[in-house]
Amino acid sequence: MIPAMRPAERYRLIERLGEGSIGVVHRALDLATGREVALKIMPQARGATNLRGEFVALARLRHPNIVSVLDYGLTDAGDEYFTMELVAGPALTAAVGPVTAQRMWALLGGVLEALAAVHGAGVVHADLKPSNILVDGAALLHAPGRAARLADFGLATPLADPGGATARGTIGYAAPEAWSGRIDPRADLYSFGVVLWQLVLGARPFAGATPRAVVAAQRAGHPGDPRAQRPDLPPALAELMRALIDPAPGARPQSAEEVLDRWRAIAESLGYPAIASKGGAGRAPRRAAAMPTLVGRDRELAELDRAWADAKQGRGAPVVIAGEPTRMPLVTNGDCGSFGTAFLLTVIQARPSAASAALPVSPLSIRLTRNRWLSVPPETT
């Protein structure tokens, strides 16, 4: 079992990989496990924005086309960080290949599955662009439908609070209505349409000398039929591309599932039946698990059981439990704690303990922390 270690002791930064919407991402070595991970860190100077919201958003989503988070905490200097799986592979623009190649249809089909899962969990990504779609080089060779990983949820917003959204996104990719703070799944579909247009035609559909000019061009109307540049495009694909970037949200496809159905139909017409079946690799996709407040309900407990079964198979993931403040025996030494509306649960082993017997879940030894993950040594027998 991993011993308790300070972040500075546990992680060694190797190289800077890039900068996301609210943090800097490094390749790092986890000295406790010997595993390379991606470590995202945000200095305190960034202000009110925090990484915890992004970590919680990702921890609530478990899907093979969404990047998996591992660890959250604070550095000795008080800066927030979290770690996630390191997705090593080519950039999306280099990975897709030609329009007629099966790889493009599998990769982008995986992105649509991820969006469907995110929206189904009540979240809008709000910053979809090529740099936020990572590609697993190993999976690209044997399971391209699972090679794409949706990442960087720093600007994600809940559907439950449509009036609380502010202008967000990246100029040229964000939907026109995003700059007025009106965010819903159709805004993500617009961004997907821009990405698709760029991958197929080599440039974004709307250009301008200034950000204001780009947004004005988006709102003005359509860039034309993509077949004017690529006469070889399947008509159904050209029609979908135009529909996705319509400036009016009501004129676009209304859900990721609708786009995915059309995507699969076009793939099947091109002779790719494996992509036309759910999952892109001939198997049904796993739904993202969005865990609501836990009050002993059978569905939530079943989801926890499935998460634990996955962890025992080497597919561990954080589990977020949110709810009203409560007092429960949650620490292996028998102490009780009172916690607020969001806290993080780390499953550490599959052996019953005295404290875990009081919990309405499978008998697990666990430790709960409010602000950071802790690595807990095993109990002695």
What's the rounded Cα separation, in Å, for the pair 78 and 213?
40
Parts of the chain belonging to CATH 3.30.200.20? 1-86
Judge whether 225 counts as a catalytic residue: no
Secondary structure (3-state) at 237: helix
Domain 92-276 belongs in CATH node 3.20.20.70: no
Query: DSSP string of 91-132?
Result: -HHHHS--TTSHHHHHHHHHHHHHHHHHHHTTEE-----GGG
Residue 355: predicted pLDDT: 36
DSSP SS3 for 16: strand
* Per-residue pLDDT, 115: 96
Residues of the chain falling short of pLDDT 70: 1-8, 20-21, 44-50, 160-167, 276-303, 313-381
pLDDT at position 162 is 52
List the catalytic residue out of 71, 127, 136, 188. 127
Structure confidence at residue 280 (pLDDT)? 42
Superfamily of domain 1-86: Phosphorylase Kinase; domain 1 (3.30.200.20)
For residue 358, how many other CB atoms are within 10 A of its CB?
12
d(CA 94, CA 108): 13
Q: What is the pLDDT of residues 350-369, one digit of tens each?
A: 333 333 333 333 333 333 33
List, in order, residues 6 or more apart from 348 with CB less than 8 Å away. Answer: 1, 364, 365, 366, 367, 375, 376, 378
The answer to whether the beta carbons of residues 354 and 334 sit under 8 Å apart is yes
Instruction: Write out the residue limits of the CATH 1.10.510.10 domain(s) in the chain.
Output: 92-276
Q: How far is CA 5 from CA 25, 55, 69, 167, 343, in A?
A: 21, 20, 18, 39, 21
pLDDT value at residue 182? 79
Residues 23 and 36 sit within 8 Å (Cβ to Cβ): no
pLDDT at residue number 6? 60
Q: Are 30 and 36 in contact (CB under 8 A)?
A: yes
What is the Cα–Cα distance from 166 to 140, expressed in whole angstroms?
36
Asked whether the CA dihedral 250, 194, 104, 134 is positive or negative, the reply is negative
Residue 329's DSSP bridge partners are 336
Question: 296's torsion region: left (phi>0), alpha (psi -120 to 50) or beta?
Answer: left
Integer Cα distance of 286 and 279 in angstroms: 8
Write down the pLDDT at residue 78: 81
* CA atoms of 153 and 266, how far apart (whole Å): 29
Residue 141 exposure: Cα atoms within 13 Å on the Cβ side: 4
Beta pairing class for 80-85 and 69-74? antiparallel
Which amino acid makes up residue 142? H
